[in-house]
Amino acid sequence: MRYFFLVVALVCSGPAGAQQWEDRQQFGDPDAPTLLRVLSSTDTALFAPVLNDFVDTVPSVSIDYHVAATAEIDQVVRTSSASFDVVISSAMDLQFKLANDGFAARVDGFEQPEWAQWRSSLFAFTSEPATIVVNREAFAGAAVPRTRQDLIRALRDRPDSFRARVGTYDVRQSGLGYLFATQDARTSETFWRLMEVMGNLDAQLYCCSGAMIEDVASGKIAVAYNVLGSYAMARDDLVDQIEVILPQDFQTIMMRTVLVSSGTPNPEGAATFVRHLLQRGQALSTLSATSLPFLDFTRPPAEQSTIALEPALLTYLDRLKSQRFLAEWEDAIIQ
Amino acid sequence: MTSALRSSTSLRRRLNIVLIGGAAVLALLIFLFVRHYTTQIAQQGQDNILKASVSSILDAAVIRNGTLEIDFPYAALSMLNTASDDRVFYAIYQDGALLSGYEALPPAGSESFNTISRTGRFNDVPVRITSAARRLVTSDGVTVISVAVAQTQDALSLTLAGISRTVAFFGAGFFVMATALSFWASSATIAPLNRLAQSITRRGPQDLSPVQKPVPSEMAPLVASLNTLMGRLDQSLRQSEDFIAEAAHRVRTPLATVRSHAEATLQRVEREENRKALRSMVRAIDESSRAAGQLLDHAMITFRADHLERQSLDLAALLRDLVDRLEPVAEMKDISFKLLAPEEVHVLGDPILLQNAFRNLIDNALKYAPAESVIEVHVTNGASACVEIRDQGAGFPPAQIDELVTRFARGENADGTIGSGLGLTIAQDVAVAHGGTLVLQNREEGGACVTFSL
């Protein structure tokens, strides 16, 4: 890791002006002739192995890695597409809309299966399920729920133990939370019943998976619903406190996507990064160098559970649809 | 015999040009038509999906508790997924004001309630736009919801490129097959003509019989005319043969009668001047008779030489027979023959013509050879059969040796000898007709030598 540099996030002094980053780090030789600006929703800790692998392979490029929430990423790219070269986000719908609206440049030169890319400009590279994270202590002596139905029953059976101790995404803030919620709602009515039950128990709303995991681990809340599984499973240190459950009734699996900003001044460098990410990701996964579950492109995803990259992703981004959905969601969870 | 025919463009080529040209035009028409048609169908396919999308959004519009709700299904946009990942845009308007979707995508006009599909541009890319409107009744009156859904045409152009390729292959295949077919058709059409030409070329010289084999009905008038022409030719040839025979008979017989009368009168008259006159008369008659005979021989030879009929014959036997027959004439002049010939010399030729030629040559030798001399007739059978006739006379006048074979040419030394000047011409014609030569020479030891080789 000769070129590994860690630069503490410089609040309010980034190139994008007054933008408040969740995190910002530099990878690679700071004197490298090319600097790639990557805007991502993925926590730096999870993505660092991939970035280090890239700057090791291509020493002439250094990476300025910015972390922001998915909705913010969408905003930044729409207002100034030239300020970032590569955009990575877990909010498939927002990424899809960016590509559909022409904010993604084509990247050619490698074979990506049809289901893992859209227009050769939006590429999926991970497969991450939404999970239920429970505090082991809170379920000591009781059966750990395996399905949403189980969870509803458990919450109803012991409302007092769970009051103000259930959490989920605030779908008004989090793009990924909104994506998970809309896909859940599309799949099953159970989602709405669960939301109502959680609303009755005064559910805590979170911006991100990381915070939910922390709170479950600390025991502040007992159950978190729709937590990003990859983040939860990456926390080896919390394995005694939390249990990560893949719901057995149905799963909602998100694919993290990457695109090259159409406004990038360095399309070649950005394309090189994307190619590297797609080609090396799986190998890094196998080597356990990263806990991000990279896609195995040779294995198509299960039809139902993985959210498909298709125009229908625009549906819930529709103003009328989202107004209606959010109203319903608020009705259910805020009481 | 064959004169150069003036020929215009060949029938085969004309047929080929018409058929191949027609096939090319047809192939092009098929290509254009099928491509146009399939393009329409492909476009219709996209339009239908866009229409379904528009109507599923419109159908979702409801007025609930006085407010408009459009909870359109996931499938409304999901159905627009294509293999080429075409981009999708949509816009929902209420009474002309944008409710949701892409602002710059206007519907065809809120007053149009029919579904309209058109090609346009959106975000600088060509798109197919389908729009429709729907009237909803609220407590306040009527409100019009219009929806436009647009899609890029990448998948469509890919399909169209595929269709164009397939149709082009189809057209090219059609053209190739039609070309092969036209070659086959033209040769099949020309074949009977060729067969007719060959069967006529293969015929023997005497065969003037009508064509009996069945011919295509289009050729029937031509073949009928040909048959008539050959019939007439056959008839006129037969007439001229008859005429020659008739003329020979008519001329020779009265001359012989006149000659015998003259001879008889010569015995009876006493006066020397009358006898002299009669002798000149007999001589003149002889000359006329011989000339008539040779003229007819020559005419006959010209005719036969044109239609030479070769048959196997023994040249030695032919000459032996000839010499035997001329022996009495030779004896009268105290001339003897010396025939040198192998047992058999087989040649292919017309016996009548050959006999005629050799008789003329030996006649000549008899006429010009002095008394008590020997005429040698030498038959050899080398690479080609060859007959040499040598006498011990004065020989040919050296200056004229090349002209003697022309018609009616007589040597300077021929005065006082009966002759028409046709003998050598006849021999020469016969030699040439058989593909041989006639060579006149003077022998070193004196006398003429004629070499007739086949």
pLDDT at B206: 63
Where does CATH 3.30.565.10 sit in chain B?
A: 308-453
Q: Which CATH class is domain B25-161?
A: alpha beta
**A320 to B100: CB separation less than 8 angstroms, yes or no:** yes
* Mutant choice from B85, B90, B93 vs A, greatest count of A C-beta within 10 A: B85
Q: What pTM was estimated for this model as a whole?
A: 0.69
pLDDT at A104: 95
Closest Cα of chain A to B46: distance in Å?
Answer: 15
Task: Report yes or no: A303 at the B interface, CB cutoff 8 Å.
Answer: no
pLDDT at B109: 60
Q: Which CATH class is domain B203-307?
A: mainly alpha
**Structural domains in chain A, sorted by start:** 2-126+255-301 (3.40.190.10), 128-252+318-333 (3.40.190.10)
**Across the 335 residues of chain A, what is the mean pLDDT of every consecutive 10-residue run?**
36 48 92 94 91 93 94 94 95 96 90 90 94 94 93 94 95 94 94 96 94 95 95 91 94 95 94 92 77 84 83 95 95 89
CA-closest candidate to residue A128, choices A42, A255, A243: A255
Report A:58-87 residues touching B (Cβ under 8 A). Answer: none
For residues B443 and B178, the model is more confident at B178
Q: Which CATH class is domain B308-453?
A: alpha beta
pLDDT tens-digit map of B365-394: 888 888 888 888 888 887 788 888 888 887
* Mutant choice from A95, A318, A325 vs B, greatest count of B C-beta within 10 A: A318
pLDDT tens-digit map of B221-245: 988 998 999 889 888 877 877 787 6
Nearest chain A residue to B152 by CA: give it. Answer: A100
Candidate ranges A212-221, B10-19, B294-303; pick with highest mean pLDDT: A212-221
Where does CATH 1.10.287 sit in chain B?
A: 203-307
Task: Report yes or no: A178 at the B interface, CB cutoff 8 Å.
Answer: no
Residue B407 has pLDDT above 70, yes or no: no
pLDDT at A126: 92
Where does CATH 3.30.450 sit in chain B?
A: 25-161
For residues B332 and A184, the model is more confident at A184
A72-86, A173-187, B84-98, B260-274: range with lowest mean pLDDT: B260-274
Question: Chain A residues with CB inside 8 Å of B99's CB?
Answer: 319-320
pLDDT at B4: 65
Residue B253 has pLDDT above 60, yes or no: yes
